[in-house]
Amino acid sequence: MPSTVGTLGSTPWDAVSPILLDLAAATDLGYRPVGTYATTVRPTVDWLVAEAGERGVAAMQQTGFFEDSFDYDAEDRFLAARS
């Protein structure tokens, strides 16, 4: 991840690398994945969009959930200072 200036460039999904997901214990207990990422991501996204629609949230609608997560004004100032 590139270095940040203060919180500039941070996102709600930031994490210190590396993130390791170890399914060895789950596999030992009999877990078997239902499919690969490629075969499961589209149905999952379709389901998420349908669920949001049933709750009255349009795809890409601003809900305020991430309202304080992105400081676009700070990004604009940073980029303007570099020009």
Residue 71 covered by a domain: yes
Between 82 and 30, name the one with better pLDDT. Answer: 30
Q: Domain count for the chain, please give it.
A: 1
Domain for residue 7, yes or no? no
Tell me the pLDDT band of 36, cut-offs 50, 70 and 90.
Answer: very high
- The domain containing residue 68 runs over which residues? 36-81
Mean pLDDT taken over the chain: 83
* Mean pLDDT within 10-36: 87
The encoded tokens of residue 18 equal 């590396």
Residue 81 scores a pLDDT above 80: yes
Please give the structure tokens belonging to residue 60.
């890409």
Can you tell me whether residue 27 is helix, strand or coil? helix
Residue with tokens 């570099």: 82
Task: Give CA 26 to chain center in angstroms.
Answer: 24
pLDDT the model gives residue 43:
95
